[in-house]
Amino acid sequence: MKRFIFLCIGIYCCSLSSVKAQQEPQFTQYMYNMFILNPAYAGSNNVLTAVAFYRSQWQGIPGAPRTLSFSLDKPLYNENIGIGFSAYSDQIGPTSELYANASFSYSIQTGYDSELKFGLRAGIHNLTVDFSKANFDPELLIENFNHFAPTIGFGMFWYSNNWYVGASVPNILETKYLNNISKSEASKKPHYYITGGYIFQLNDDLKFKPTALLKAVGGAPFSFDISANIMMHDKITLGLAYRNEESIAALSSFQITPQLNIGYSFDYNIGEVSEISLYSHEFMMRYEFNYGRTRSYSPRFF
C-alpha cells in the first residue's frame, strides 16, 4: 500500500512535468460524453440532456484512479445557441482534481440536416494533494497542497443525423504546480482532441457506427481510441474498442425508455499496467428531458 501510494505521487508528478502519459481522465464511452471534451457540443441534442459517468480504473490496486463526471446542456429558445455546465473529479492515491466549467456554443446551418458549431468554455480547476495519505515518515512529511487555477477552452463540432467531426482544446492555459515541492517546475499542459464517427444504416433494425478519438499533449506520445458499435432496434448497442498500447474493451448501452440510456464498458488492460491490474470498469447514464423537443425522436448514437 505504502509503495503504491508513493508510486501514485511519482506517476502524477511525472505527468505534470516531463509528461510521459496523458494528464486528463479518459473515457472508453467517449462517444456518449463528448460535451466533457468539447464545449461546441452544447445544445446539439436539441433538448436538455444530463449525462453522468463513473470510471473505476485498474481494479484491485489500492489508490487507483477513480473518475466521476456530470454534464448538463441544452439549446436556448434561439436554437443557434447552446449552453451547458460540466464537472468532473479525478482521484488517484493522495491526489484529487476537480474541474467545473460553463460552456457556450453557436451553430451555423451548413446543409439541409448539418450544422457547424463553435464553442467556448471557462471555469476552474482545483488540485489537492493530501500527503498524509501517503504514510510518509514524520521527518519527510510535507504540507498538504491545494491550488485553484482558471480554465479556458474552445472547440468545433460539425455534425448531421448520421455523422460528426469535432476538434477541441478543453483548456488552453498551462498551469504551474508544486514549484516549492518538486525539484523541477511542474505544469498542467493543454490537451488536443479530434473526434469522428459515422452511422451506417445496414437495414431497418441494424445500424453500424465506427468512431475514433485522437489525443495529443505536449511531451507525451500520440494516443488514439477506436471503436465499432452495432445498434439493434434502436434499443441495444454492443461494441468493441481499442486504446493503443493500453486496453481493449467491450461496450454496451441500453435505451431503457425514449429518454433514459444506460451504458457499461469493460476494459481489459494490455499495456504495462496489465502486470499489476487486468481490467477497468465504466458506467454511463444519459437522460433527455423531452419537453419542448423540436424534432421527431430518434435515439442519438452520439
Tell me, yes or no, whether 121 lies in a domain.
Answer: yes
Q: How far apart are CA 302 and CA 290, in angstroms?
A: 17
Q: What is the CATH number of the domain that holds 220?
A: 2.40.160.40
Greater confidence (185 vs 276) lies with 276
* pLDDT above 60 for 238: yes
* pLDDT above 90 for 102: yes
Q: Read off the pLDDT of residues 158-201 as tens digits, 9 standing for 90 and up.
A: 999 899 999 999 999 877 665 554 444 456 778 999 999 999 99
Query: What pLDDT was estimated at residue 176?
Result: 67
Query: What pLDDT was estimated at residue 189?
Result: 79
- Model confidence pTM above 0.75: yes
Residue 182: HSE in the Cβ half-sphere, 13 Å Cα cutoff: 20
CB 212 within 8 A of CB 224: yes
**137 falls in which pLDDT band (50, 70, 90)?**
low
**296 falls in which pLDDT band (50, 70, 90)?**
very low
The parent domain of residue 178 ranges over: 2-289
Percent helix, strand, coil in the chain, to 5, is 10, 55, 35
Give the phi and the psi of residue 51 in degrees, each rounded to 5.
-135, 130
Greater confidence (112 vs 134) lies with 112
Encoded amino acid at 149, one letter: A
When pLDDT is averaged across residues 77-100 and rounded to a whole number, the result is 89
Tell me, yes or no, whether 302 lies in a domain.
Answer: no
Tell me, yes or no, whether 11 lies in a domain.
Answer: yes
Tell me, yes or no, whether 301 lies in a domain.
Answer: no
Q: Which of 185, 166, 63, 56 is nearest to 117 (CA)?
A: 166
Q: How far apart, in Å, are the Cα atoms of 74 and each of 82, 111, 292?
A: 6, 22, 11
For residue 186, what are the β-bridge partners? 177
Tell me, yes or no, whether 179 lies in a domain.
Answer: yes
How many domains does the chain contain in total?
1
* pLDDT above 70 for 10: no
Q: How far apart, in Å, are the Cα atoms of 191 and each of 129, 157, 163, 247, 294?
A: 22, 17, 24, 20, 35
Tell me, yes or no, whether 300 lies in a domain.
Answer: no
Give the max Cα distance, the chain: 69
Q: Read off the pLDDT of residues 15-38 as tens digits, 9 standing for 90 and up.
A: 443 333 455 778 999 998 899 999
Query: What pLDDT was estimated at residue 74?
Result: 93
**5 falls in which pLDDT band (50, 70, 90)?**
very low
Tell me, yes or no, whether 41 lies in a domain.
Answer: yes
pLDDT averaged over the chain? 83
Terminal C-alpha separation, the chain: 40
- Choose the weakest-confidence range: 74-83, 105-114, 246-255: 74-83
Give the phi and the psi of residue 5 in degrees, each rounded to 5.
-65, -40
Tell me, yes or no, whether 165 lies in a domain.
Answer: yes
Q: Which three cell numbers stand for residue 19?
A: 509528461
